[in-house]
Amino acid sequence: RVGGFAGGNAGGTITESFAAGTVSGGENAGGFVSRNGNEFAEEDGFRAEITDCYAVGEVTGDERVGGFVGHNFFGDVEQSYAGGDVSGNESVGGFVGVNRDGSTANDVYWDATIAETSDGGTALTTTGMQGASATEEMSGFDFENTWQTVVEDESINGETPDTDEYPILSRLASEAQL
């Protein structure tokens, strides 16, 4: 179980975070988190929740491999996206490898240009997820308060990108995320 941000989220809440590193593993490999939730947390009344997060690193694994989460297991993911290459042998998805019954993936997006399928989320083209297009295509995101578009030749804290990029978190915009 390997993830770009965490190996697993058993029953906690993760908000406004991102992962951009390369992830390589076996089962339950995810660009952000390997496994979100578990049956024991659900029995105790806890839900694993991830909101307003993203992953843009390459993910490789064997089975239950996702650009964002490998296995969404009694967990909830909302307003998040994945934009990295994903490869594996079984249950491979651009956003989530396996989205188990009882789990949700609402207002989540994945780049269909670099990953063909997903067990949850909305497929968008790279162009639809980047620059000004993101505000229209990723309609479940709050671009007034939480998210910021990255548009070619528009300065973000002194840096000017040469191309449109995926959205970044507004509160983290002062850090180099490009």
135 vs 39 pLDDT, higher one? 135
pTM: 0.90
Q: Please give the angle made by the CA atoms of 175, 137 and 152, to the nearest 5 degrees.
A: 45
Region 120-128: mean pLDDT is: 95
pLDDT 10s digits, 81-98: 999 999 999 999 999 999
In the prediction, which pLDDT does 144 show? 93
Residues 45-88 have pLDDT tens digits of 778 999 999 999 999 999 999 999 999 998 999 999 999 999 99
CB 72 within 8 A of CB 99: yes
| Per-residue model confidence (pLDDT) at position 118 | 95
pLDDT of residue 175: 55
Is residue 33 within 8 Å of 8, Cβ to Cβ?
Answer: yes
- For residues 64 and 45, give the distance between their C-alpha atoms in angstroms, rounded to a whole number: 25
Query: 3-state class of 126 per DSSP?
Result: helix
pLDDT score at 178: 45
Q: 177 falls in which pLDDT band (50, 70, 90)?
A: very low
Determine the distance from the C-alpha atom of residue 42 to the mean position of all C-alpha atoms in its chain, rounded to a whole number: 22
Average pLDDT, the chain: 90
